[in-house]
Amino acid sequence: MSTTDGTLTLSSNEEFKVQSDLTWATAVYMKMRPEDAAFAEDIKCALLAIVQRQTIQQTAADIDKLMEISHGVALARGWYKNADGTPKPERNVGEQLLLMVSEIIEGFEGWRKNLPDDKLPHYPMITVELADLLHRLFDFAGYHKLQLGRAFIEKAIYNAMREDHSLTHRASEHGKKA
């Protein structure tokens, strides 16, 4: 993937390279918010900090570490065993995905009723249910050995450059709606 002027590329070995110092960050920012040209200088510095190679690799590694932790806890707590302690031959993917959906539904119910969480009452229920969602998501990704960290970063960069995510396109007759 690259910008139209070739300033950002993702090589085949998935290394992220920013090939110019300010051009890419400015181009992305101006594409997202062309009406704020006066702030471009400040924003491009902030964007550069985000897209630098070390930051990107660390963020991907942090996500991968969260996957490792969540999956490790699930293994240790017996979620990959039957009730009698025997190993499950394989986790049911549909069940795992629907358990993620159930966390969203529980969170929505807490949001709708403005409830505190019943186990961690110092947090709103929506916060704790979304944390549960992350645990289930990271466990799922760890179990299936998904490259979630790198995919997350790559998708964030891709989305930042998508024309169909711009305000202009979204305002059009066939534009995406939020």
Q: What is the mean pLDDT of the chain?
A: 78
Contacts of 27 (CB under 8 A, 6+ apart): 3, 5, 7
Structure tokens at 2: 């690259």
Q: Which residue has the tokens 């024309």?
A: 163
What does pTM read for this prediction?
0.67
- State how far the Cα of 172 lies from the Cα of 30, in Å rounded to an integer: 19
Would you state the pLDDT for residue 56? 77
Please give the structure tokens belonging to residue 13.
């070995």
Which of the residue ranges 5-19, 47-61, 137-151 would you say has the lowest mean pLDDT? 5-19
Q: What share of the chain is helix, strand, coil (3-state, %, to 5)?
A: 65, 5, 30
| First vs last C-alpha separation in the chain | 25
Burial class (CB in 10 A: 0-12, 13-18, 19+), 125: buried
Q: What is the mean pLDDT of residues 51-73?
A: 85
Lowest mean pLDDT among 78-87, 108-117, 164-173: 164-173
* Three-state helix/strand/coil letters over 69-88: HHHHHHHHCCCCECCCCCEC
Assigned token pair, 73: 């806890």
| Res. 101 pLDDT band, cuts 50 70 90 | very high
Residue 139: pLDDT band (50, 70, 90) is very high
H or E segment and range at residue 94: helix 93-113
Rounded Cα gap, residues 170 and 178, in angstroms: 8
Question: In degrees rounded to 5, what are phi and psi of residue 114?
Answer: 55, 50
pLDDT on residue 22: 45
Task: Tell me what pLDDT residue 28 has.
Answer: 53
Q: Give the mean pLDDT of 86-91.
A: 89
Minimum mean pLDDT range among 28-32, 107-111, 123-127: 28-32
